[in-house]
Amino acid sequence: MSGWILPLSAVLAAAVGIAGQRSQRLEVSIVRNRSEGPKVMATGGLAARLAELGCDIVSSTVVELPPEDERQYGAWNKTALESRQIGRLVAATAGSDLTIGLLTNCSDLLGMLAGLQHPAPTSKAARRSGPAGLAGVRPRRVGLVWIDTHADFNTPETTLSGMLGGMPVAIAAGMCLTRHRLTAGLDPALPTRYIVMAGLRDVDPLEQELLDRSECEFLTVDDIRQRSEAITRQIARLAGLTDVIYVHIDMDVIDPSEVAGHPLTAPEGPTSAELAAALEIVFRHPKVEALGIASLPYGERDKDHRSLDAAYRLIDGAVAGVRSRTPR
C-alpha cells in the first residue's frame, strides 16, 4: 500500500465514472500568498490540472499588503497583517465548491480560518447563514483538520525554538498572542474540541502537556494509510459541532522522500498518494469547504518537482472527494 501512487489518469477515470452524482463542473477558488512557494504551486500547471479534473477556477487572487501595512514594523505583526489579507480574500470566495489556499507556511492558518469564519456578505456562505441579528452576522463555527508532522500548539511559554511557526494552532485556539489573532481577523477563537490533528510525529514535551489538557482529537499515520473508519467518524463529529471545516496540510507531514528539501521532516510519514486517498474521504462531507497547502519545497530544494507533484496529488484527492458528494 505504501508504494501505491494515485496518478492523474486514475483520478480522471474515477471522476468520469461517478454517474448521477456531481456531474457538473466544480467551482474552485484559489487564494495564494505572495511568496515563492505559493507562486510555484499556482504556476506549475495547477490550472490545467484542475481543468482536466472538471473544475472551473472562478476566482484566483494573490495577497497584497496595502502600503500602510507594508510600513508596519515587527515580523510577527507583519505576519498577522498578511493573514488579515488572506482572510479577506477567502471571505469573498467562501461558498465555492472548493477553496484552495496556497500558503507560505503554517502561520497563514489564521487567515484561512478568519475568512471562513466571516464570509463576505455577498458570498454564498453568508447568504446561507440567514439574516443578521441585532449583534450583526453570526460568525461561522469553523472546524480544523490539522495535518502536520508538528502540532504547532506551542505558546511563548512552552516553545523550545521561539518560532512563531510553532504556535499558530495555539493562537487560533485562544491560548496565546490574542492581539496577533485579532489583528488577523479570527474572532472568536476556536474551541479545542473543534480541532482534529492528523499525522503528528514530532511534538515538544511541554507542547504535549498542552495537548493532553486540550479537547483536541487525533488521527494517526496508520489511520491515514489505512483510510480507517476513524477518519469518517472525526469528520462527522466536527460537522456536528461546526458550520464549516478547513483542512490544513504542512508538506512536511508526508514521507521525507517526497519532500527531501523540507527542513523539518520526520520519518514514517504517509505517502502523498495515501494522504490523497484519505483526503478524498474527508472532502466527501459537504461542510469541508477549503484546503490549504503550506511549506512547499521549491527551486533548488525540489529540482525533480517531486514535492510539487505531491502537492498536486493532494489537491487531486480533495477534488475527487468533492466530486463524489451527493448533490445538495
Average pLDDT for consecutive 10-residue bins of the chain (328 residues)?
44 45 82 96 97 97 89 90 97 92 98 96 60 67 98 97 96 98 98 98 97 98 98 98 98 97 94 98 98 97 97 98 81
Residue 26 is predicted with a pLDDT of 97
Distances (CA, A) of 102 to 43, 113, 179, 293: 11, 14, 25, 5
DSSP symbol at 133 = B
59-63: long-range contacts at Cβ-Cβ below 8 A with a sequence spacing of 24 or more?
Answer: 59/29, 59/30, 59/92, 59/93, 59/96, 60/29, 60/30, 60/32, 61/30, 61/31, 61/32, 61/89, 61/92, 61/93, 62/32, 62/33, 62/34, 63/31, 63/32, 63/33, 63/34, 63/89
pLDDT digits over 247-288, tens only?
Answer: 999 999 999 999 999 999 999 999 999 999 999 999 999 999
Q: How distant is the alpha carbon of residue 172 from its chain centre?
A: 14
Adjacency order of strands within the sheet including 98-103: 55-62, 26-32, 98-103, 288-294, 244-250, 142-147, 195-198, 217-219
Residue 69 is predicted with a pLDDT of 83
pLDDT digits over 11-66, tens only?
Answer: 544 444 443 444 689 999 999 999 999 999 999 999 999 999 999 999 999 999 88
Max distance between CA atoms of the chain, in angstroms, equals: 56
Residues facing 245 on adjacent strands: 143, 288
CB atoms within 10 A of CB 120: 17
Q: How distant is the alpha carbon of residue 279 from its chain centre?
A: 11
- pTM check: above 0.85: yes
In the chain, count H helices and then E strands.
14, 8
Residue 9 is predicted with a pLDDT of 46
Residue 313 is predicted with a pLDDT of 98
Domain residue extents for the chain? 25-126+139-323
Residue 108 is predicted with a pLDDT of 98
Residue 266, all three cell numbers = 520526520
Residue 70 is predicted with a pLDDT of 81
Q: Characterise 162 by phi-psi region: left (phi > 0), alpha (psi -120 to 50), beta (else).
A: left
Second-level CATH architecture of 25-126+139-323: 3-Layer(aba) Sandwich (3.40)
Torsional sign, CA 213, 167, 249, 28: positive
Residue 18 is predicted with a pLDDT of 41
